[in-house]
Structure 1
Amino acid sequence: MARHWHATEDGRHVVCDACPRACRLGPERRGLCFVRMNQGGALVLTTWGRSSGFCIDPIEKKPLYHFLPGTPVLSFGSAGCNLTCAFCQNWDLSRAREIERLNSPATPGRIATLAREQGCRSVAFTYNDPIPMLEYAVDVAHACHDQAVRTVAVTAGYVSPGAREDFFAPMDAANVDLKAFNDGFYRKMASARLAPVLDTLTWLARESTVWVEITTLLIPGVNDADDEIKALAAWIAATMGPHVPLHLSAFHPAHRMNAVPPTPHATLRRARALARAEGLEHVYLGNVHDPEADSTWCPGCGARLIERDWYTLGAWGLDDAGACGSCGRALAGVFDGPPGTWGRQRRPVRP
């Protein structure tokens, strides 16, 4: 069932090649993600066709602000994760060890049909990172494209070079969680490394057609230092381009970091100013109410192009091709006619 693995020379173990961990698994052993397992000398994805949390969300919640604004997206996840983030907001799913918690089986074709029947323009792999369920996500994505439904990956980008082309090939957009801009943070907080994530982002920007936005959760006293924010923003501008949107989100106590206070609004606003000073054209604030910082402004003439109040769109300054109505400058992103009107709705559905 899994595609990205190889057996050791002695045949006693299999090695998972989906992510940089390269978990070496003996018979009937699972990887750190818990959902990839050595069964009978082959690597099996134990959650293929098993999903959880089907819900119709606004696309802005992913967050994606430059991809089909105002439209509904069918969101779902599975169990397991290949990171161990101490601050995980969805730890009950990402660190799940009970596969039986997942809903009834949902085939790729059924998910695509459900999205089309519900009027969703896209399907999002979210709630837990889709890399551990790579083969299932890819199969769903192909089924969605067969029904003219687009696909979105919400991921930490911790994927091996050999698997990422397979994973991202059928994805139309991605929000990549760049958790910090120092390797020590990744080692201590997520049992991972920074370099593979930067490599994924560089590859997405230079080698793929996927529309990419980036999210960084700012944790007080942990990854919110001015120098780190400036370095992160400067790297994005230089390596990926100043047009790439950056979402700076407020931390709320969760999982193993319940004693850390929420991110002050003032910290987010300061970080936004620093990131813009490094050349980024679109820096948004998440998990706080800030209509000015949530709105999209033309990098050319300064006109407001998309007014946002939480997930509700207001004034619209783009033409149907996604260009500024005032100066004609094209806004980077994926736009297809007038905006949608889904707003702040969140509607659970059953597959």
Structure 2
Amino acid sequence: MSRRVDIPPPASPTASGIVPAGWWHEEDGKLVCDLCPRSCRLGEGQRGFCFIRQNLGGQMVLTSYGRSTGFCIDPIEKKPLNHFYPGTAVLSFGTAGCNLGCKFCQNWSISKSREIERLSETASPQAIARAAKALGCKSVAYTYNDPVIFAEYAVDTAKACHELGIKNVAVTAGYISEAARDYFFEHMDAANVDLKGFSEDFYHRLCAGHLQPVLDTLKYLVHRTQVWVEITNLIIPSENDDPGEIRAMCEWILKELGPDVPLHFTAFHPDFRLMDHPPTPVDTLIRAYDIAREVGLHYVYTGNVLDIARQSTYCPKCGNVVIERQGYWIGRYALKGSNCGYCGAPIAGRFDPQGLREQWGARRQPVRIANFA
């Protein structure tokens, strides 16, 4: 009788960060990973595409539990999340590995690394939660690589954070299986989903993946969870910058997700295996922004450029600026709770009912979690 494991079995990690993994089954003498759409088939000792899930002794394991590639306090707007407690600080971390193979990866030194020992800092879920609390962070973000592949570690950390009143943010490509979605996102309060392009060709050629699972994740998050969702689209010249494709993406968002899901168009810079592509022209970002607004999306932003007009939040009813941004700094803040301070219309998002009580700004502060162990 073949074996099947869904929810990760409870176990303490080994000193090297190995724990029994969830979401796999046995088939024809191999273990098939059910965590993401890749469905990697692993013989004894083999690792999945993500590198950190492995068939070890006939059992699927996660090999990076409690081992992070580094911690840093960022502004929440850097994730980017513009409608999730603006101005607050977020403690960010990730691990090694990724389940997509993006040729334009801008965190490739982390996400593509197989040198876990060299890159890692040991950090328990409880120490991370204590650090976030002590350092005044509103939330913890699972980012830099994709938290889906270290789901066991991310969920345990999220539980520890919730116990201390800390929110949880997944910065993800949304490449997760239907089998794992409920367990993973049940513990997240917000997610920024990287919708990398809007064609199967783009995902196949440049990401070694498929588009439909990402669209399925977005519909699932918006319609079946309480997770606050924002979308990022990195625009790469000559790859996903076609106005027709951008319009089709925006129309899909409007139809399938609704007008209130924020969309961030961000500028590409040459990196990893796309060093031969130029940076994204500002005019391209502006054109994408205009298309999204013409289609009817309420909250559209440009990123990785200085653009106060297109990085500020406007009331969809009266058109006034309710949150003015210059980079990661907030200027005018005209919300009353979650409503426009001018006309009273609701503004979609998660906002402090007492207003803008703090502002982390553009600071980036590295953190040693060992100090909180």
CA displacement at 1:333 relative to structure 2? 0.2
The answer for the alignment partner of 2:21 in structure 1 is: 2
- Picking from 229, 251, 266, the partner of 1:249 is 266
Point out where structure 2 has 5 or more consecutive residues left out of the alignment: 1-19
Alignment-mate amino acid for residue 342 of structure 1: W
Q: 1:269-323, CA deviations, whole angstroms, 9 ceiling, x for partnerless residues?
A: 011001111110111000000000000000000111001000000011101x210
The answer for the alignment partner of 1:332 in structure 2 is: 348
- Picking from 123, 126, 132, the partner of 2:143 is 126
The answer for the alignment partner of 1:347 in structure 2 is: 365
**2 CA distance for matches of 1:120 and 1:52?**
19
Does the 8 Å CA contact 2:95/2:120 hold for their aligned counterparts?
no
**1 CA distance for matches of 2:115 and 2:254?**
41
**1 CA distance for matches of 2:234 and 2:344?**
33
| 1:217-296 matches, cutoff 5 A | 217-296=234-313
- Picking from 116, 121, 129, the partner of 1:104 is 121
* Root mean square deviation, CA, Å: 0.7
Name the SS of the counterpart of 1:133 in structure 2.
Answer: helix
The answer for the alignment partner of 2:228 in structure 1 is: 211
CA displacement at 1:228 relative to structure 2? 0.4
Name the SS of the counterpart of 1:19 in structure 2.
Answer: coil
Work out whether 1:166 is the aligned partner of 2:183. yes
Q: 1:46-68, CA deviations, whole angstroms, 9 ceiling, x for partnerless residues?
A: 00110022000000000000000
- Picking from 94, 112, 137, the partner of 2:111 is 94
What TM-score do the two structures reach when normalised by structure 1? 0.98
**1 CA distance for matches of 2:184 and 2:282?**
36
Alignment-mate amino acid for residue 304 of structure 2: N
Work out whether 1:323 is the aligned partner of 2:342. no
Identity of aligned residues (%): 56
**1 CA distance for matches of 2:53 and 2:240?**
31
Name the SS of the counterpart of 2:149 in structure 1.
Answer: coil
Work out whether 1:298 is the aligned partner of 2:290. no
Name the SS of the counterpart of 1:267 in structure 2.
Answer: helix
Alignment-mate amino acid for residue 32 of structure 1: F
Does the 8 Å CA contact 2:70/2:121 hold for their aligned counterparts?
no
Point out where structure 1 has 5 or more consecutive residues left out of the alignment: none
CA displacement at 1:91 relative to structure 2? 0.5
What TM-score do the two structures reach when normalised by structure 2? 0.92
- Picking from 174, 189, 197, the partner of 2:214 is 197
**2 CA distance for matches of 1:142 and 1:81?**
23
CA displacement at 1:102 relative to structure 2? 3.0
Work out whether 1:155 is the aligned partner of 2:172. yes
Q: 1:224-269, CA deviations, whole angstroms, 9 ceiling, x for partnerless residues?
A: 0010000000111111110100000000000000010000000100
The answer for the alignment partner of 1:115 in structure 2 is: 132
The answer for the alignment partner of 2:158 in structure 1 is: 141
Name the SS of the counterpart of 1:101 in structure 2.
Answer: helix
Alignment-mate amino acid for residue 173 of structure 2: A
Alignment-mate amino acid for residue 22 of structure 2: R
Aligned length: 348
**1 CA distance for matches of 2:43 and 2:322?**
55
Q: 1:198-241, CA deviations, whole angstroms, 9 ceiling, x for partnerless residues?
A: 00000011101000000000000110001000000011111111
Work out whether 1:177 is the aligned partner of 2:177. no
**2 CA distance for matches of 1:3 and 1:164?**
12
**1 CA distance for matches of 2:99 and 2:267?**
23
Does the 8 Å CA contact 2:77/2:86 hold for their aligned counterparts?
yes
The answer for the alignment partner of 2:15 in structure 1 is: none
The answer for the alignment partner of 1:43 in structure 2 is: 60
Alignment-mate amino acid for residue 320 of structure 2: A
CA displacement at 1:6 relative to structure 2? 1.1
Alignment-mate amino acid for residue 6 of structure 1: H
Alignment-mate amino acid for residue 25 of structure 2: H
Name the SS of the counterpart of 2:147 in structure 1.
Answer: coil
**2 CA distance for matches of 1:275 and 1:220?**
18
